[in-house]
Amino acid sequence: MNSKPSAEELSKFEIFTGIPENQLQWFIDNSEIKEYQDGVFIFEPEEPMDKTHVILSGKVRILLIQNNQQREIYVLEPGEITGTLPYSRATLARATGVSTGNTLVLSLHKDHFTTLICSHHELTTRFVHEMTSRVREFTQLQTQNEKMMALGKLSAGLAHELNNPASAIVRSSSSLKEHMQLLPGTFKAVISIRMTDEQVDMVNKRMFERISNPDRASIKLSLMERSACEDDLVDWMDEHQIDNALEMAENFVEFGFDEADFELFKEQIPAQYLTPVLNWINSNLITEKMVIDIQEASKRIASLVSSVKNFTHMDRANDKQRSNVHDGIRNTLTMLNHKLKKSGVHLVESFETNLPEANIFVSELNQVWTNLIDNAIDVLENTEKPLLEIATKSEDGFIKVHIIDNGPGIPDDIKSRIFDPFFTTKDIGKGTGLGLDVVSRIVQQHNGKVSLVSVPGRTDFEVCFPIN
C-alpha cells in the first residue's frame, strides 16, 4: 500500500507552492491515494467527473477521439492536476486518461468541495486559477482542432473536385499527343489534292463556322435525335464511298454538321478528293474537341483556385470590408460541392436580387456559412430526398441569411444548448461541439445574432447582421 505524501512534499509541486501547510494537510487527509499500472484507464469519456486528481509520479496521457481516431492531445506530468475542480460545471469526462508507467495519483472527491471553498481560501483560489487556465488552453486547443477538422473536410472535397479536371487534362493531352502523331498520314493525303482557291476557302469557311459556333445544334439534340443524325451521315458517306464513315459521323454531328453540309462539299470538291478532305476536316474536329476539353478543365481548376482564394480571403487585409455576401456563400458551396454531391442533397438558392454589399469580415463569415451548411448536410444523411435551401434578403438595414434543411429537426430539450461550447449531438469523434459556438461568436462580432426555428422536416438557422 502506498503512503500519502507529506504537506512538505506536496508543496514542492508548483501548483501547491505558497499554500499554507494546514490547507495542504487537510487536502491530503481527505484524499485517497491510488497506484495505476502502465496502460490502465484512469477515466474514460462519459464517466462522471467527481474527483480532483493530482499526479504524484508517472504520467497520464490524455486522449481524445477525433475523426473516429484516438489521438493524444497532451500528457500530464507529476505535479499537474486533472478531473473536476471547484465551481466547474463539467459533470462528465470528455477524454480518456491512460497511465504511462506506474502512476501514483492523489484524488479528492467533490463531496469535500463545500468545506474546501468555505475553509481553505488559498487552496480554492489556486484550484480556480488552474481551472481557468485549463479551460482557456483546452478551448484554444479544441478551436484549433475544429478548424483543422473543417480544413480536412474542405481539403478532401477540394482534392476530389480538382482531381476530375486535372485527370481530364492529362487524359486529353495524352490523346492529343497520340492524335498529332497520326497527322503526317493525313497531311500526305491532303497535299496531293488539287483544288481551286475558292473551293479551299469554302471548305475552310464551313469548317471554322462549325468549330467557332458556341451554340452548336448538337448540344440541343436528344440522344435519339443525335443517333439518327449520325446514321444519316454514315449512310451518306457509305453511299459516296467515304472511308472511316462510322468513326467520323460522331465528330461531325458533335460540331453540328448535317447532310446539307456534305452536299455542299460534294458540289465543290472533286469526287476523288472527298475522302481525304472529310478525313482532314475530321482530324481538325478531333483536335478542336481535345483542346476544348483541356480548356474547360483548366477553367474549372482556375475557378476552384479562385474560390479557395476568395474563401480564405488570403489576398485581402484582415479587417472589415464592403463585400457581397452571395460571393462568400457561393465560394463556400464550391468548397463543399463534393460533400453535397456525395450526399445527394438538392440545393435551392433563393437569393435576393441586388442584395446590398455589407461591411463584414469576409473570411470569418465564410466560417459561419461553412459550419452551418456542413452541419445541414450531416443531418440530411439519412433523409429521403434531402433538400438544402439557402435564402438571403435585406430588411430594415440588416441582411438575413437562412440555412434551411428538411432533416429530422432539433429536439426541444436541446435547442437552448446547441450554441454552448463543447455541446454536440454528433457521435463521438465526429464533432468537437465548437462549430455553432464559433458561428455565434463570429456573428456577435458583426453585431448580429443567430436564431433557430426547428420542427421535424424543417430546420431554419437565421443569421442576421447589420449592413453597415
Selected residue with higher pLDDT from 215 and 451:
451
pLDDT score of 75: 87
pLDDT score of 434: 45
Q: How confident is the model at residue 368 (pLDDT cuts 50, 70, 90)?
A: confident
Residue 444 has pLDDT above 90, yes or no: no
Selected residue with higher pLDDT from 221 and 36:
36
Average pLDDT taken over every residue of the chain: 81
Phi-psi region of 5 (alpha: psi -120 to 50; beta: other; left: phi over 0): beta
pLDDT score of 239: 87
Residue 467 has pLDDT above 80, yes or no: yes
Within a 10 A sphere around the Cβ of 42, how many other Cβ atoms?
A: 24
Residue 393 has pLDDT above 90, yes or no: yes
Alpha helices (H) in 192-273, listed in sequence order: 197-212, 223-239, 245-254, 259-268
Give which of 90, 111, 89, 6 is closest to 43, Cα–Cα: 90
Selected residue with higher pLDDT from 177 and 216:
177
pLDDT score of 243: 84
143, 434 in Cβ contact below 8 A? yes
44, 93 in Cβ contact below 8 A? yes
Work out whether strand 321-323 and strand 358-360 pair parallel, antiparallel, or are unpaired: antiparallel
Give which of 249, 267, 271, 247 is closest to 258, Cα–Cα: 249
Q: How confident is the model at residue 264 (pLDDT cuts 50, 70, 90)?
A: confident
The span from the CA of 332 to the CA of 154, in Å, is 9
Q: How confident is the model at residue 288 (pLDDT cuts 50, 70, 90)?
A: confident
Residue 217 has pLDDT above 60, yes or no: no
Mean pLDDT for the stretch of residues 175-188: 65
| Backbone torsions φ then ψ of 396, nearest 5 degrees | 55, 45
Residue 350 has pLDDT above 50, yes or no: yes
- Burial state string for 283-309 with b = 16 or more CB within 10 A and e = fewer than 16: bbbbebbbeebbeebeebbeebeebbe
Residue 79 has pLDDT above 70, yes or no: yes
pLDDT tens digits along 100-151: 999 999 999 999 999 999 999 999 998 888 877 776 766 666 656 666 666 6
Kindly list the structural domains of the chain, giving each domain's residue range(s) and its CATH number in brackets, ordered by start: 7-119 (2.60.120.10), 156-304 (no CATH), 320-466 (3.30.565.10)
Residue 388 has pLDDT above 90, yes or no: yes
Mean pLDDT for the stretch of residues 246-273: 85
Residue 401 has pLDDT above 50, yes or no: yes
Cell of 125: 483560489
Record the pTM.
Answer: 0.47
pLDDT score of 340: 85
Within a 10 A sphere around the Cβ of 319, how many other Cβ atoms?
A: 8
pLDDT tens digits along 33-68: 999 999 999 988 888 889 999 999 999 998 877 656
Mean pLDDT for the stretch of residues 278-303: 81
At a CB cut-off of 8 Å and minimum separation 6, what does 237 contact? 245, 248, 249, 262, 278
Q: How confident is the model at residue 446 (pLDDT cuts 50, 70, 90)?
A: confident
pLDDT tens digits along 422-440: 555 554 444 444 467 778 8
Residue 311 has pLDDT above 70, yes or no: no
Within a 10 A sphere around the Cβ of 373, how many other Cβ atoms?
A: 24
pLDDT score of 433: 40
